[in-house]
């Protein structure tokens, strides 16, 4: 990307989009085009086409998506597949029709089969059944990947797709009903500490293992790939290490300073038993994650106390 390129970050207020925006500005890319959901409805094809026609976009980071944890995915499956299909279809097609030079599509490692061998290599995509609790979201993301690859083949576009592992960082969603596990645990332990609760309930058995990537590391990887990679192969972005939910819970307990008991509710489904990505491809391209998990969690907890709680 030229330093003066016109760059559109779709979803700039979310966890990933805000991190990409920060990374762009940090690296001198000041000509960013940003629109909130109220300013531009990405599910409205006509509005999206008008926006691309007017703004003459050079590069797109497609980070806009409807996301959520197990509960949200289970309760709103139609919303997850419809909204994501509309958003990505409109943006990808507009990028082609209005001459965007390159687009980076943010997928998710939940697209891999539920029982994929670990760590998950990029070629494991579509080799087995999906995790039922997030299948509608995963299918939408798989459609987005396939759409990017198909446009590349038919129209000669330059669209790349990346698969980040579980994310956390500033601007995360701390709503206990719709958030992912790490921010949910931060809020649970904080509220238990403040309210002097004798115990904190953690959903599931605590046995599943997850990999967690700080949003600033992901943003750095996205800029790196936008400048150094092209092709139809998908690229995993992760740290290459995982941790059990039980270990995560006790780590967050320590960071927050909660002194009560931790109990695990095994009546809540665990989801995929393990989700660790193989990061050989991106490491060989020349990029590695740099933010240790405990350091990242401490920074997020500081942000949570300063920013999120003030807005409540």
pLDDT in tens, 83-136: 999 999 999 999 999 999 999 999 999 899 988 999 999 999 999 999 888 899
Q: What share of the chain has pLDDT > 90, as a percent? A: 84
- For residue range 39-88, what is the model confidence (pLDDT) as tens digits? 999 999 999 999 999 999 999 999 999 877 777 777 889 999 999 999 99
Token look-up 């596990």 returns: 181
Beta strands (DSSP E) in 154-238 are 159-164, 166-168, 199-203, 209-210, 212-214, 235-237
Residues near 56 by beta carbon (within 8 Å), at least 6 away in sequence: 6, 98
Tokens standing for residue 122 = 């990029």
Instruction: Sketch the domain layout of the chain as residue ranges.
Output: 7-171+211-240+274-292
The bridge status of strand 159-164 relative to strand 102-106 is parallel
For 112, the token pair is: 């891999």
Q: Is 137 a catalytic residue?
A: yes
Is residue 308 scored above 80 in pLDDT?
A: no
CATH H-level superfamily of 7-171+211-240+274-292: NAD(P)-binding Rossmann-like Domain (3.40.50.720)
pLDDT of residue 163: 97
Under the banding of pLDDT at 50, 70 and 90, the label for residue 173 is confident
Give pLDDT, residue 300.
95
293 is annotated as contributing to ligand binding = no
Q: Is 270 annotated as a binding residue?
A: yes
> Where in the chain does DSSP place strands (E)?
7-10, 32-33, 59-62, 102-106, 159-164, 166-168, 199-203, 209-210, 212-214, 235-237, 243-244, 261-265, 274-275
| CA dihedral of residues 309, 191, 178, 22 (deg, nearest 10) | 40
Q: Is 15 annotated as a binding residue?
A: yes
Average of per-residue pLDDT across 31-44 = 96
203 known ligand binder: yes
Residue 99: enclosing H or E segment and its boundaries? none
pLDDT surpassing 90 at residue 311: no
Catalytic residue among 137, 159, 301, 308: 137
284 by Cβ neighbours in 10 Å (0-12 / 13-18 / 19+) ranks as exposed
| Residue length of the chain | 312
Mean pLDDT value of segment 233-247: 97
What percentage of the chain exceeds 70 in pLDDT? 98
- Beta strands in 77-194, from DSSP E residues, in sequence order: 102-106, 159-164, 166-168
For 200-222, how does the pLDDT look when each residue is reduced to its tens digit (9 = 90+)? 999 999 999 999 999 999 999 99
- For the beta sheet containing 7-10, the strands, ordered from the edge strand earlier in sequence to the opposite edge, are 32-33, 7-10, 59-62, 102-106, 159-164, 235-237
Whether residue 25 is annotated as binding a ligand: the answer is no
């Amino acid at each position: 990307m030229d330093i003066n390129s016109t760059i559109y970050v779709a979803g700039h207020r979310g966890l990933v989009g805000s991190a990409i925006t920060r990374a762009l500005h940090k690296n001198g890319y000041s000509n960013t085009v940003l629109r909130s959901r109220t300013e531009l409805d990405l599910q409205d094809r006509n509005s999206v086409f008008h926006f691309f026609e007017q703004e003459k976009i050079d590069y797109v980071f497609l980070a806009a998506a409807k996301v959520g944890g197990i509960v949200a995915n289970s309760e709103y499956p139609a919303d997850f597949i419809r909204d994501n299909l509309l958003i990505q279809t409109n943006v990808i097609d507009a990028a082609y029709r209005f001459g965007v030079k390159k687009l980076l599509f943010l997928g998710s490692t939940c697209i891999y089969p539920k029982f994929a061998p670990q760590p998950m290599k990029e070629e494991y995509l579509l080799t087995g059944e999906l995790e039922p609790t997030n299948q509608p979201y995963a299918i939408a993301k798989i459609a987005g990947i396939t759409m990017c690859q198909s446009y590349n083949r038919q129209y000669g576009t330059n669209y790349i797709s990346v698969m980040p592992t579980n994310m956390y960082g500033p601007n995360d969603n701390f709503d206990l009903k719709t958030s992912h596990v790490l921010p949910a645990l931060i809020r649970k332990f904080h509220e238990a500490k403040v309210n002097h609760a004798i115990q904190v309930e953690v959903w599931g058995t605590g046995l599943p293992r997850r990999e967690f990537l700080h949003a600033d590391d992901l943003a750095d990887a996205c800029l790196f790939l936008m400048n150094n990679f092209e092709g139809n192969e998908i690229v995993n972005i992760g740290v290459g290490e995982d941790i059990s939910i039980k270990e995560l819970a006790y780590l967050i307990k320590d960071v927050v300073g909660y002194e009560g008991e931790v109990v695990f509710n095994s009546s809540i489904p665990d989801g995929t038993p393990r989700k660790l990505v193989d990061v050989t491809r991106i490491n060989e391209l020349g990029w590695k994650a740099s933010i240790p998990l405990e350091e990242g969690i401490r920074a997020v907890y500081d942000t949570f106390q300063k920013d999120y709680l003030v807005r409540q």
